[in-house]
Structure 1
Amino acid sequence: MKSKVETLPNYRIAYMRGVGPYGPANIEVMEKLKKWAEEKNLLTSATLFAIPQDNPETTLPENCRFDACIVISKDYQIDASICEGELPGGKYLIFEVKHTAQDIQKAYADIFPFLQSLGYKMDDKPILERYIGDMISNPYCEICVPIKAGKV
């Protein structure tokens, strides 16, 4: 697997949450967020994140949380139709993946053994799927795995 280490800053985000089994419903939440962002003229140079908040192996499918997020500036005033939050920065191991269900599943299956083979330990933050620039309209995303500062 091809990867790179990147230090992400803290991001202020606007987000929408879906609760339920991961799958097609996640796409609906992301499309709803993109529609909101487009109405606010925020999509032109946007960074979007998809964040599966729970591990479906340890959380019942009906309780799995999924957040669709867009990075917003510190001074952007949000309205009551959307939630606001902050993504914590830090070191992340970044993988570029074709954004199909099959490729994403394979990437998630391969990431953890690959992480161990490099000697990294995962930090206690959610894994992020990042979409930047052309990635918003193209079928690729970056899976950002939080890692602890030093190698194991």
Structure 2
Amino acid sequence: MFVLEEIPESRIAYIRRTGPYGEVSRDQMEGLTSWATANGLLRADSVVLGIARDDPARTPPRDCRYDTCLVLPDDVEIRRSDVAEGRLVGGRHAVLTVAHTPEGLAHAWTTLFDGLAAGGLVFDATRPVLERYRPHLLARHLCEICVPVR
């Protein structure tokens, strides 16, 4: 069951991996979270995102980009060469809470777009789908998939 949410435009810090999806390295997430922790940026209200930047049906797997991101306040300075800065385009999203397991995420991804259509929602392919990780949900082994909709 989707919940509609307006996600605000945000500043993000990210580490990018290029290669086939499904092989996202634990090192990538740990690199970002250790940097964030060392700089006092990982708190109870922090938002970590996973963003698949390319459509694997149109992009060769070796060229698919996956960003592990942390939503940042505007006044934080990034001083690490492997952490880049960007902007998350906000807007209306259909949010689905799922089990934070490989099986839970895989099942959600395979049924996601049928669920949108059944709910009368239209995917906005001009914005990326987000995997959102918030501490209060991770404590219950849950995460969210946020699908941009029109």
Q: Deviations over 1:32-74 (max 9, x none)?
A: 1111111111111311101111122322111110000001101
Give 1:137 deviation, angstroms: 4.8
**Matched position secondary structure for 2:37:** helix
The answer to whether the 8 Å contact 2:99/2:142 transfers is: yes
Quick check: 27-36 or 90-99, which moved more?
A: 27-36
Partner residue in 2 for 1:126: 128
2:42 maps to a residue whose letter is L
Give 1:109 deviation, angstroms: 1.0
**Matched position secondary structure for 1:68:** strand
1:111 and 2:116 aligned: no
In structure 2, relative to structure 1, the CA distance for the partners of 1:99 and 1:127 (3 Å cut) is same
Counterpart Cα distance in 1 of 2:99 and 2:19: 24
Partner residue in 2 for 1:22: 21
Give 1:78 deviation, angstroms: 1.4
1:62 maps to a residue whose letter is R
| Long gaps (5+) in structure 2 | none
TM-score relative to the length of structure 2: 0.91
Counterpart Cα distance in 2 of 1:38 and 1:136: 17
The answer to whether the 8 Å contact 2:100/2:138 transfers is: no
**Matched position secondary structure for 1:25:** coil
Q: Deviations over 1:97-118 (max 9, x none)?
A: 1111111111011110111111
TM-score relative to the length of structure 1: 0.90
Counterpart Cα distance in 2 of 1:127 and 1:72: 19
1:96 and 2:104 aligned: no
The answer to whether the 8 Å contact 2:24/2:66 transfers is: no
Structural RMSD (CA): 1.4
**Matched position secondary structure for 2:24:** helix
1:77 and 2:77 aligned: yes
Give 1:80 deviation, angstroms: 4.0
Report the number of matched residues.
147
| Long gaps (5+) in structure 1 | none
The answer to whether the 8 Å contact 1:26/1:66 transfers is: no
